[in-house]
Amino acid sequence: MATKNAAPRFKNVSPLGALDVPALGRVIAAGEEFEIREDLVPLFAAQVGNFEPVNAEAQAAQAGALSSADDETDGEPGGGETEEVKGK
Please report the pLDDT score of residue 6 as a whole number.
Answer: 84
User: According to the 3-state scheme, what is the secondary structure of 15-82?
Assistant: CCCCEEECCCCEEECCCCEEECCHHHHHHHHCCCCCEEECCHHHHHHHHHHHHHHHHHHCCCCCCCCC
Please report the pLDDT score of residue 2 as a whole number.
Answer: 47
Please report the pLDDT score of residue 35 as a whole number.
Answer: 96
Please report the pLDDT score of residue 33 as a whole number.
Answer: 98
Across the 88 residues of the chain, what is the mean pLDDT of every consecutive 10-residue run? 73 97 97 94 92 91 73 55 51
